[in-house]
Structure 1
Amino acid sequence: PESLPAAVIENGTLENARTVRGCLGDIQGKVLEAGLHTPAIIVAGEAAALDLSCKSGLPLGGVRVGITGTASFRERLGALLDSLGAKVECAGAMEVNSHADSPEMEAAYGRLSRYEVIVFTSANGVRLFFSGLLKSGRDFRALGRVKFAVVGPGTAGELLKYGFRADYMPQVYRTRELAELLAQVCQTEGGGAALTAREGASPRILIPRSRGGSPELTEILSRAGVAFDDIVLYDVTGGLPVQEAAGPQTGCDYITFASASGVEAYFEQMGGEAMERLAGIRTVCIGDVTAGALESHGRRVDVLAKEFTVRGMAEAILNDRSEGDERR
């Protein structure tokens, strides 16, 4: 009968899936009006009338977010945004290249007993540092007297996987606050929080991190007179393009950048098409340094996540979406 429920699903199971519902008598006209294209399937029967989507009432329902970054970061941010109802896709797959076997890192592994604190500014840094430590022929006993400082809970959680708790973590999860905390700790005289010098030497800090990491960290430590070794442990390269948008309905609403190195990798991969691909998409950056990297390419930042965590980035998108709804 013409009254039998029917539905046509375009790009089923994909993030840009669209569904048109009706009955056998009117489904053809509705599909033509909506402009659905192949690949698509037609479903006829009582079940076709049911919308089993679980995202329709969520705060980011209908919002599409392109995520750039490493596989680990994309997985964590994507899972959180998905739980809020957003459709997520890879807008830039960044490759992490380890330099744990470089002469500088080999030398650092060889003098671990000299360091008071090892500073990690990312989960990638934690993983690559410990991998390099084992490959260097050493094990965790080389870290018996070392304290650890991390930029936020995500990095602290990664460190805990290796059996170490973070000794220092700023209340605000940003590089500037981490640097100020370390400077304060190093300058403290007496008390359990002080980094006492060994055999009269100045406290030494090891910072194994990404190439192009925030200069705020070392600038603040230098002004405080703190001795440190800032060594490139890894760099970030590569990138995959944002999916070509077939129209406003399938384009991204947001694109995220989680590091300055990620911004540089994206623009290097996209070349002259980068600005065109970002047209009409709201850009989301973690922190001022990442924002500065994007702006150096002539693209303004629309949404700034002040907290260096995936939750901070998700909250920034939520807030921006809410403000946009109020404006509309």
Structure 2
Amino acid sequence: MERKTKMRKKIVAFRPENVLKRSKEKADRYGFDFFGFTLFELVDRKEALKEIEDVFDEGVDIVVFTSLNGVKKSFGICEGKFELKAKLSDAAIEICAIGPVTGSELEKRGVRVDFMPEQYSAKGLMELMDKRGDAENKKIVFLRSAEGGRDILDFLRQKGAFVKDIQIYKVEIKDTEEEKGLFSEFVAYNPDYIIFTSSLTFKMFLGLARKFGMKENIFEVLEHAKIAAIGDLTAETICEEGMKVDLVAGKSTFEGVLKEIKSKTF
């Protein structure tokens, strides 16, 4: 008797170009079929180099990296022009990484990580800094995307910290005919699960669906599929559009959400 081959569940995620291949490999490792593409490009801010130089000249107590891209872009901007690794190696400066992927990238570059919030988000960092209770008069620098939220900055300033938010790169949406074609492929793919890795990703996805005149088709796919969100803020943003979120990842990493989907039966 011929044995039937079990169909692999289909997963979609919208990932930066530099991690798409790795995302597919991870999905494959967990037994999923993967389709994904990039909704935006990460563009360096040339002004960031001077801002980094100035802030270290003024003195820093804590440097916060919020993402893998924040680490890569910071070092890329400084390469051959400013010894960022040497500055971060100063024992008087504490390094905070949000999430193990961010921390791992820093450690690969020879930079120690002094602390990391249990919840890999701005909310998690707020809770950690509140628990530490030592933000007052600290000079805290964020090296991150121009799209980063302001809540964490306001929170730390209310605690008496001097906060500098250096926008290392900005996000430029990709809205060409090529992306429109990828949206059509997404509809035809008809996934079982859709992973939204951030609030920004979901907003851009929805904005492009409207721009391409594909909102109805996209919403049909979203209604059929199970939606997984990385982080509470992402889930809240999706729910604001009247959609149901089936899973909010406990650990806010792409692999973490794959693991949770694998372990659950919807």
Scaled to the shorter chain, the TM-score interval is 0.7 to 0.9
Deviations 1:241-284 (A, max 9, x none): 342555xxx52111111112222222232224245314222222
- 1:62-81 superposed matches below 5 A: 62-81=8-27
- Within 2, Cα distance between the matches of 1:127 and 1:244? 29
Match of 1:317 among 258, 261, 265: 261
Comparing 158-167 with 129-138, greater Cα deviation is found at: 129-138
Change (3 A) 1:213 1:299: farther
- Cα pair distance change 1:314/1:304, threshold 3 Å: same
Counterpart position of 1:291? 235
Decide which structure has greater helix share. 2
Partner SS for 2:8: coil
Q: Tell me, yes or no, if the aligned pair for 1:257 and 1:284 is still in contact at 8 Å.
A: yes
| Change over 3 Å in CA distance of 1:180–1:220 after alignment to 2 | farther
1:140 to 65, 77, 85: 85
Aligned-partner Cα distance in 2 for 1:184–1:136: 37
Deviation, 1:77, is: 3.3
Look up the SS of the partner of 1:111 in the other structure. helix
Cα 1:171–1:106 change in 2 (3 A) is same
* Contact 1:67 1:91 survives alignment (8 Å): yes
Residues 43-74 of structure 1, C-alpha deviations (whole Å, 9 max, x = no match) = xxxxxx898x7xx4xxxx52000111212443
Q: Percent identity?
A: 23
Instruction: Say whether the 8 Å CA contact 2:103–2:113 is kept in structure 1.
Output: yes
Alignment deviations for residues 289-318 of structure 1 (CA, whole Å, 9 cap, x no partner) = 122333344433232113211232113322
Deviations 1:168-220 (A, max 9, x none): 112333331223223444x34xxxxxx8x9xxxx2111112123324442243
In 2, Cα distance between the equivalents of 1:316 and 1:150? Answer: 23
Partner letter of residue 170 of structure 2?
A: D
CA change 1:133–1:313 in 2 (3 A) is same
Aligned to 1:230: 165
Give the match's secondary structure for 2:147.
Answer: coil
Number of residue pairs matched by the alignment? 251
2:129, 2:81 → 1: CA distance? 28
Question: TM-score, normalising length from structure 1?
Answer: 0.67
Asked whether the 8 Å contact 1:120–1:155 carries over to 2, the reply is yes
Measure the CA separation in 2 of the matches of 1:139 and 1:295: 40
Is 1:267 equivalent to 2:219 in the alignment? no
In structure 2, stretches of 5+ residues that fail to align are none
Aligned partner of 1:263: which letter? F
**What is the root-mean-square deviation in Å for CA atoms of aligned residues?**
2.8
Other-structure match for 2:196: 257
Shift of 1:231: 2.6
TM-score under structure 2 length normalisation: 0.81
Q: Which runs of 5+ in 1 are unaligned?
A: 1-21, 23-48, 189-194
Structure number with greater Rg is: 1
User: How far did 1:136 drift?
Assistant: 4.1
One-letter amino acid of the structure 1 residue matched with residue 105 of structure 2: E
Cα distance in 2 for residues equivalent to 1:97 and 1:304: 29
Question: Which residue identity does 2:42 align to in structure 1?
Answer: V
Aligned AA for 2:16? Answer: T
Distance 1:184 1:225, change over 3 A: farther
CA contact (8 A) 1:206 1:229 kept: yes
Of the candidates 168, 177, 184, which is equivalent to residue 115 of structure 2? Answer: 168
Confirm or deny: 8 A CA contact 2:61 2:138 kept in the other structure.
yes
